[in-house]
A and B are shown apart, each in its own frame.
Chain A
Amino acid sequence: MPITTTKSAFWAGVRDGAPFMVVAGPFAMLFGVLATEAGLNLFEVMSFSVVVIAGAAQFTALQLMQDNAPVVIVLISALAVNLRVAMYSAALTPYLGSAPLWQRIFAAYLLVDQSYALSHAKYEAMPQMGVPQRMAYYFGTCTLVMMVWFGCSYAGAALGTALPADIPLDFALPIAFLSMVAPMVRTLPHLIAALVAILVSLVAVAVPYSLGLLIAGLAGMMAGAKAEVLLGKRQAP
């Protein structure tokens, strides 16, 4: 499908982004429900989702605040979970780096898994796209996903207190995280990183200030990187 104008590029992005509504919606709703259960009011839940827009980081911060972890640990851990967006930013820079600053600021704010994955694939497939068309496509991919992200956060927060008390909601978060991470385990180094992180986290659970999570995460990352080198230069895609 040819993309000749910024307008058609925007709508192509909207169309390609539409299927991801079913991905973002349930997570946003779950965040709304769990945050409400943790005592946040509607305004606080919405502020959280609008200011941060990062599902995994929001869940992590919520869990650690409920564990009464120190604020510094909450922030470092949640940002570590979200570190991949820095890699996305790096990957998109060759394509969008020459756009006006205000556009790059908005693009950065809206940088999530979906906008990165769709846009990067599109730019690679269509190298002849101009920078304005690339930006239009990028904002197109974000449009529906963001509407669903904010809308479902609201719905979850509104629904939160209405759920029956005997649903084992305490375990919704581990299931959500494990379901996100299991499909990411594609290579042996991935598996080694995950297993080392799990073992260290179980041993380090007694370390004060919830530092065990950071220690385990770093141990897993180092194990994965080391395994990758030892097993040859097998590049993760």
Chain B
Amino acid sequence: MIDKYTLWFVIFGLGIGSFLLRFTFLGFVGDRPLPEWLLRHLRYTAVAILPALCAPLVVYSGTDGSTDPTRVIAAIATVAAGILTRNTFIAIAAGAAALFGSVYLIG
């Protein structure tokens, strides 16, 4: 269970932080260009952070750090469909179908 104090701190911290991320350039920086090395790293934030968040949830999905094959099958189906179709919703559908299918077949 999430502690209520923590929860509200995170809600407002994240709200203020997200607003500052969105406002920084529009409000403070103006149209001065950013250094190229910084932009080059920022381009890869989403494709690095999101898979890094998911990978342990996929690989250590069983009890006590083991691997639950149904979760691996669902993850592979999601990524494959997403890369092939470039469509988030087809990817979700493929992942959900693979998850329910493999849970039904493997248990």
Contact = CB atoms under 8 A, between A and B. Distances in A.
Interface of A: 22-23, 26, 38-40, 44, 47-48, 51-54, 56-58, 60-61, 63, 65-66, 71, 74-75, 77-90, 92-94, 96-97, 101, 104-105, 107-109, 111, 168, 171, 173-185, 189-190, 193-194, 196-198, 200-202, 205, 212-213, 216-225, 228-229, 236
B41 A198 contact: no
Nearest to A59: B53
A108 B22 CA distance: 5
A181 B51 contact: yes
A224 B50 CA distance: 14
Contacts of B56: 201-202, 205, 212
B24 A193 contact: no
A93 B15 contact: no
A217 B86 CA distance: 23
B49 A79 contact: no
A92 B26 contact: yes
A173 B57 contact: yes
B11 A48 contact: yes
Contacts of B103: 168
Interface residues of B, number: 71
B51 A220 contact: yes
Contact of A94 (B31, B60, B83, B92): B31
Contacts of A224: 41, 43-44, 47-48
A25 to B, nearest CB: 11
A44 B74 contact: no
B21 A85 contact: yes
Interface of B: 1-2, 6-15, 17-19, 21-27, 29-31, 34, 37, 39-61, 70-71, 74-75, 78-79, 81-83, 85-89, 91-92, 95-96, 99-100, 103
B12 A84 contact: no
Contact of B57 (A22, A77, A174): A174
Chain B residues touching A, majority SS: helix
Nearest to B91: A179
A201 B16 CA distance: 28
Nearest to B84: A182
B86 to A, nearest CB: 4
Contact of B10 (A74, A80, A89, A225): A74
A97 B31 contact: yes
B54 A177 contact: yes
Contacts of B99: 168, 171, 175
A174 B11 contact: no
A93 B27 CA distance: 8
